[in-house]
Amino acid sequence: MGARKESDVTSSGGRTQVERKSDCELVISRTFDAPARIVFEAWTKPELMKRWWVPKSLGMELLSCEQDVRVGGTYRLVFQHGASGTMAFHGKYLEVVPPSRLVWTNEESADSSITTLTFEEKGGKTLLVMSERYPSKEAFEAGAGAADGLSESFDQLDELLVTLDQER
Amino acid sequence: MVQYQHARFDASFAALADATRRGVLEQLGRADASITELADKFHMTLTGMKKHVGVLEQAGLVVTRKVGRVRTCKLGLRRLEEEAAWIEKHRQLWDARFDELDKVVEELKRKEKVDGRKKRK
């Protein structure tokens, strides 16, 4: 994987940076203007997660969000799926180290990813680094689009981006 | 569609994982070249260079055309651009999501300040 370093593909417009680190890993990072304990809180309290995980402009609705944030505890996010159905994203927490580290599994499919979040506080600001690591590149191909609740199709994402562009 | 695109991105990544192939792309960025010229440039056998060009061609990074006995190679950058576009879409989604998170974080910060003042009183 190290050999690929020079060919890493990165996108860093705006304040969020996304980088495909390897065949199996996508890394997303952003700095928040708050201490780590606050950013950590926003990731670990369902009533807070619900407010930001699905941006309004996405046109999807987060119906429920349950999080039992402790090692071995589970989480479950249920979205409105099309007009009739729902879809759920679920898994369990592997590591919980407030306010600096969270690791969880994504168990929607057999070959799912492990999400690792680190919160690094410096001078009152927090650098959040989120890594999505898949067991194989095949799994990455199959899952990278789906992992964040956007499994429908990239068309939907395109619509969102058009909306966002118009808002600018 | 998404599957298909990912498979193609993967071919691009694999093709780019080799220093010689990156060198070939760089070279072709300056000027089109025949496989013989590339083999000379990179001190390689014709067969070796054909293999590298084959990998780049499969990934859509290079296109080749045979005129007479000479196969000329040139850049085919489309897929790299697609790959960059895919990453950019992810970035925009997370940017939108994190903008919302920013608002939540700001509110928590304000609340903490107010609570702190109350506690001191």
- 8 Å CB contact of A12 and B101: no
Flag whether B99 is in a domain: no
pLDDT digits (tens, 9 = 90+) for A42-86: 999 999 988 888 766 666 778 899 999 999 999 999 887 666 678
- 8 Å CB contact of A11 and B87: yes
B1 touches chain A (CB under 8 A): yes
- Predicted confidence band of residue A166 (pLDDT cuts 50, 70, 90): low
Cα separation, A47 vs A65, whole angstroms: 8
Q: Strand ranges (DSSP E) for chain A?
A: 9-11, 17-22, 25-32, 62-67, 74-81, 85-97, 101-105, 114-122, 125-133
Number of domains in chain B: 1
Flag whether B91 is in a domain: no
pLDDT, averaged across chain A:
79
Chain B: residue whose CA lies nearest to A21: B13
Domain range for B62: 2-77
Chain B residues inside the 8 Å CB shell of A6: 22
CA distance A84 to chain B (A): 24
Per-residue pLDDT averaged across A138-167, rounded?
52
Flag whether B98 is in a domain: no
pLDDT, averaged across chain B:
84
- Predicted confidence band of residue A168 (pLDDT cuts 50, 70, 90): very low
pLDDT digits (tens, 9 = 90+) for A81-110: 666 678 788 999 999 999 999 999 998 877
Residue spans per domain, chain A: 11-167
Percent of chain B with pLDDT over 70: 85
Quote the ipTM score: 0.74
CA distance B64 to chain A (A): 22
Flag whether B95 is in a domain: no
Flag whether B38 is in a domain: yes
Q: Is the pLDDT of residue A147 over 60?
A: no
pLDDT given at position A167: 52
B110 touches chain A (CB under 8 A): no
**CATH code for position B30:** 1.10.10.10
pLDDT given at position A3: 39
Fold entry, domain A11-167: Alpha-D-Glucose-1,6-Bisphosphate; Chain A, domain 4 (3.30.530)
